[in-house]
């Protein structure tokens, strides 16, 4: 089985509280994009993992794809294993959810391949044990995600957008970004409900006014290149330019594919990890079975 494991963007990211166990309570609008890793799953007696592409991650038991496979086996009691290959395209430490997408694709694919017949909600609950973005990466669509990633609401989507995504600097530690956020004295919160309405209507003007990412200011202070990339995207014609997740990737929204291609040509000269993409309805796509 061969699958596309698609990255995601945050249209908005807000922090609404902190649980006693230290987990942050989030309020986010997320959507899959066409930038993806490719996951290949082959039935086997035992477990093995190979990786290819860029960035090349170490193929060991700490890899989220392997952890997802072993978790599903432990949960279902399936007697066999799997050979996994992960071909990476999604940058790491970028806020694009690449590792979460890989784990979600493994859970979804093995549930089919092994005939373990778990429901989507059961897979989402398993995924949450490994990472907060994995339930979303299983569900896909335009989604408002709250809590620690377990509360999801599917939203209507008025249109799909052409994007340029770039990672202008090395990755950021999510933990360090959150620590810096708590040390900051001024936070500008997005209007998540208004952003959801604008995404439903496909109207860029109210969308631009409503969007925001409360982690962006602190991430820009930690990596000034993020702010530079946002400025360059706007100079290149982006209607909206915003950091996704805790960074360090940013995305620009363009009215037409042609405008996105022109911006890509200029930004790829500055930052090699620059990609043409578009928003999509699905997080996981079956390519071959």
CA distance 222 to 245: 14
- Give φ, ψ of 171 to 5 degrees: -65, 165
**Contact (Cβ atoms closer than 8 angstroms) between residue 96 and residue 34:** no
Question: Which of 126, 99, 98 has the alpha carbon at shortest distance from 110?
Answer: 126
CA distance 98 to 93: 9
Q: b/e map of 48-69 (b: 16 or more CB within 10 Å)?
A: ebebeeeeebebeeebbbbbbb
Indicate if 8 belongs to the active site. Answer: yes
**Contact (Cβ atoms closer than 8 angstroms) between residue 15 and residue 25:** yes
Indicate if 234 belongs to the active site. Answer: no
The enclosing H or E element of 143 equals strand 143-147
Catalytic residue among 14, 88, 133, 259: 133
CA distance 147 to 71: 23
Tell me the catalytic residues: 8, 133
């Amino acid at each position: 089985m061969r699958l596309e494991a698609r990255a995601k963007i945050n249209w908005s990211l807000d922090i609404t509280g902190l649980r006693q166990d230290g987990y942050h309570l989030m309020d986010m609008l997320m959507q899959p994009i066409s930038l993806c890793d490719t996951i290949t799953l082959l039935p086997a007696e035992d477990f093995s993992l190979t990786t290819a592409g860029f960035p090349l991650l170490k193929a060991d038991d700490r890899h989220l794809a392997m952890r997802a496979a072993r978790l599903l086996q432990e949960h279902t009691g399936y007697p066999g294993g799997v050979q996994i290959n992960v071909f990476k395209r999604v940058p790491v430490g970028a806020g694009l959810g690449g590792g979460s997408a890989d784990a979600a694709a493994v859970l979804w694919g093995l549930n089919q391949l092994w005939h373990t017949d778990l429901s989507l909600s059961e897979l989402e609950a398993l995924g949450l044990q490994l990472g907060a973005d994995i339930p979303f990466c299983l569900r896909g669509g335009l989604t408002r995600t709250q809590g620690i990633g377990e509360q999801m609401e599917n939203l209507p989507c008025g249109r799909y957008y052409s994007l340029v995504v770039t990672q202008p600097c090395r990755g950021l530690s999510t933990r360090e970004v959150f620590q810096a956020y708590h040390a900051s004295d001024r936070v500008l919160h997005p209007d998540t409900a208004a952003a959801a309405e604008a995404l439903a209507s496909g109207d860029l003007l109210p969308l631009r006014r409503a969007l925001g990412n409360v982690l962006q200011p602190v991430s820009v202070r930690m990596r000034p290149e993020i702010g530079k990339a946002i400025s360059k995207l706007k100079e290149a014609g982006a209607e909206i330019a915003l950091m996704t997740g805790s960074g360090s990737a940013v995305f620009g929204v363009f009215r037409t594919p042609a405008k996105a291609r022109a911006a890509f040509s200029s930004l790829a000269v500055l930052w090699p990890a620059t990609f043409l993409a578009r928003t999509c309805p699905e997080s996981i796509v079956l390519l071959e079975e």
